[in-house]
Structure 1
Amino acid sequence: MKWPTSVTLVRHAESAYNELRQKKREDSLYDAFLKAFELDHRSPEARRLALEVKDRYTLDFSDFEMPLTEAGRNQARITGKHLHEVISPPDVIFYSPYRRTCDTLTEICGEWPGLKNVRMIEEDRIREQEHGLALLYNDRRVMHVLHPEQKELRDLLGPYWYQQPQGESVSQVRDRARAVITMLIRECAGQRVLMITHHLMILSWRANIERLTPAEFIRLDAEEEPVNCGITHYEGNPSAGNDGKLELKFYNKKLY
């Protein structure tokens, strides 16, 4: 079989940005901003509220340096404590170089000591989508009010093809995932692989392995977004296809 024996993808634990998103959802200011945005994203009121949201919800981290919250560390510890119950010990671990993925791996290894002897490889191609200019606002809609032509471009192209300024489109992240799949076929056939990665990379992996269309990809993102420390697991089936096949066994499993 040309494929790994198994591939397990784990999303990083809760980060400061994930916590920020939840706080915004519970804030009346943000609710008022969303209503103004839907009414007219070019209006003076939408701009005033966008600036207030930006000031209230600024993070002093780059996406690369985004830390875990204490709740996130606890998610990772519990996941590490029980991960051996749902997967076999991996032969190799690939991890994104971002701080939140590295810290998630550290916490998991602390609860599953046997992982410390496994070969670990930092792989920058499994990082999160590059957000470019949007990172300065920590919110796509805020950026679109302050740069309205970007909203109009996204509306024209759709969320799959739209490329954030100085960032990436969803399709470009999916291209990175294709490159990683090729690498695993070349270097990890017959091995058990564990990846500590990000939301959009997990969706890109599924889209590539399962041959999802752009529309199916966006639906999956909207309706079944990967959860923090969610586990997605594929097993190789040597009898499927000409050279075997990876088959999805479970998606978004939480152990905490």
Structure 2
Amino acid sequence: MPSTITAVRHGQSESNEAHARATAAGMAVALTGADEDVLLTPLGRRQASALGRRLAREPEPEVVWCSPYTRAVQTWELAAAELESVPETRTDARLGDRLMGELAGMNLAAIRQRFPEEAAALLRAEYGYRPPGGECFSDVADRVRAVVGDMRAECAGRRVLVVAHDAIVLMLKHVIEEVPLVSVAAFAPVTNASVSIWRGSRSEVFNDDGHLRGISL
């Protein structure tokens, strides 16, 4: 069993920014390109560096498990630059973001325009909804459960850092604390570059972004 599991969401990404702007303006947006290739914004890079400074003030991680998505890798690289030493690092495809299939890159307004029946199904049961060709949250939970099992077997007594996505952090809460899937929505949204820490099955910190105060947009 790891002594602690600390999970962080990547810094603000270009798709996060585009979706936030479109949604605030009441507009539909459907981004193109592979989700795994999305980059951090300048703000996201500053958030990642601030995250690293926070990690440097605490017992530093001894091993890192990182999503292979570019925005997560960039976040870890920038955070690691703030640490005294870079720990053993691995990427694991099971820590990739939730797959949205045919709805990839779309905000809710775009889904309503192009797939109104899917939008209605999503709103009825967000955490039980599986988009065409994509994953529901229980699918993501299965991936996370397998990763946590491997961490418990391979990282006994070590401080583990997970650098991933909002869906992964939420499913860590579900898996580690056994929070029912239907109750996970109460803990969303997970903030970019926020920190969540578990010691055993107990949550010490969840979705804390105090280290980001004062970072300009």
**How much does 1:149 deviate?**
2.6
> RMSD of aligned C-alpha atoms?
1.7
Partner of 1:20: 18
Question: Are 1:250 and 2:217 an aligned pair?
Answer: no
Paired residues of 2:23 and 2:107 also in contact (CA < 8 A): no
Q: Distance in 1 between matches of 2:100 and 2:186?
A: 20
Question: Are 1:167 and 2:155 an aligned pair?
Answer: no
Within 5 Å, give how 1:19-98 maps onto structure 2. Answer: 19-27=17-25, 30=26, 53-54=27-28, 57-85=29-57, 87-98=58-69
Q: Distance in 1 between matches of 2:132 and 2:55?
A: 38
**How much does 1:169 deviate?**
0.4
Which stretches of structure 1, 4 residues or more, deviate above 2 A after TM superposition? 57-61, 151-156, 218-221
SS, match of residue 197 in structure 2: strand
Label 1:154 to 1:58 Cα distance change in 2 as closer, same or farther (>3 A).
closer
Q: Distance in 2 between matches of 1:82 and 1:153?
A: 40
Partner of 2:215: none
**How much does 1:148 deviate?**
2.3
Task: Return the letter of the residue paired with 1:96.
Answer: S
Give per-residue Cα distances to partners, 1:101-141, cap 9 Å, x unaligned. 000011111222412xx1111111111100111115x2134
Question: Are 1:99 and 2:70 an aligned pair?
Answer: yes
Partner of 1:50: none
Max Rg structure = 1
Give per-residue Cα distances to partners, 1:18-70, cap 9 Å, x unaligned. 1112212432xx1xxxxxxxxxxxxxxxxxxxxxx44xx44343210111000
Q: Distance in 2 between matches of 1:210 and 1:113?
A: 31
Question: Are 1:129 and 2:78 an aligned pair?
Answer: no
Partner of 2:181: 214
Paired residues of 2:40 and 2:74 also in contact (CA < 8 A): yes
Partner of 1:234: 198
Task: Return the letter of the residue paired with 2:56.
Answer: H
Within 5 Å, give how 1:110-189 maps onto structure 2. Answer: 110-115=81-86, 118-136=87-105, 138-154=106-122, 158-189=125-156
**How much does 1:153 deviate?**
3.6
SS, match of residue 64 in structure 1: helix
Partner of 1:43: none
Q: TM-score, normalised by structure 2?
A: 0.90
Q: Distance in 1 between matches of 2:186 and 2:140?
A: 17
Q: Distance in 2 between matches of 1:60 and 1:147?
A: 17
SS, match of residue 111 in structure 1: coil
Gaps of 5+ in 1: 31-52, 236-244
Gaps of 5+ in 2: 213-217
Paired residues of 1:6 and 1:246 also in contact (CA < 8 A): no
Task: Return the letter of the residue paired with 2:81.
Answer: G
SS, match of residue 160 in structure 1: helix
Q: Distance in 1 between matches of 2:84 and 2:102?
A: 40
SS, match of residue 68 in structure 1: coil
Paired residues of 1:134 and 1:140 also in contact (CA < 8 A): no
Task: Return the letter of the residue paired with 1:134.
Answer: L
Count of aligned pairs between the two proteins? 211
SS, match of residue 114 in structure 1: coil
